[in-house]
């Protein structure tokens, strides 16, 4: 099993990602950037892009319970804050 490593401080990654999600939500829906701050929910493709992982990796992590997710109908969604917290906790437990 490989450890997760980031090239940037996790807080910087989180803030950059939040900004991208807000912009995308505002551009692709009737959601304003302020409303997007309240809903940090993303799909699998967005998660993979953000974490620089493949979809099979995201599926494997989901199946093994390494990252939290929820379903809306047949769609899988992630609360990015919960995912990042789970990854931080996982990383911290490897020390």
Q: Looking at residues 52-75, what average pLDDT do you find?
A: 95
In which domain, by residue range, is 68 found? 10-92
Q: Within a domain: residue 17?
A: yes
Q: Within a domain: residue 2?
A: no
Q: Within a domain: residue 85?
A: yes
Q: Within a domain: residue 1?
A: no
Q: Within a domain: residue 4?
A: no
* CATH number of the domain to which 46 belongs: 1.10.10
pLDDT at 10 > cutoff 90: no
Q: Within a domain: residue 63?
A: yes
Q: Within a domain: residue 64?
A: yes
Q: In the prediction, which pLDDT does 16 show?
A: 79
Q: Looking at residues 33-57, what average pLDDT do you find?
A: 83
Closest to 90 (Cα-Cα) out of 18, 15, 8, 2? 2
Indicate the number of domains in the chain: 1
């Amino acid at each position: 099993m490989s450890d997760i490593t980031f090239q940037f401080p996790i807080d910087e990654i989180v803030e950059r990602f939040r900004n991208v999600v807000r912009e995308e939500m505002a551009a692709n829906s009737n959601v304003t950037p302020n409303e997007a701050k309240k809903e940090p929910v993303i799909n699998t493709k967005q998660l993979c892009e953000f974490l620089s992982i493949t979809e099979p990796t995201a599926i494997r992590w989901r199946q093994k319970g390494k990252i939290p997710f929820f379903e809306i109908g047949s769609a899988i969604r992630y609360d990015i804050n919960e995912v990042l917290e789970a990854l931080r906790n996982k990383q911290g437990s490897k020390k």
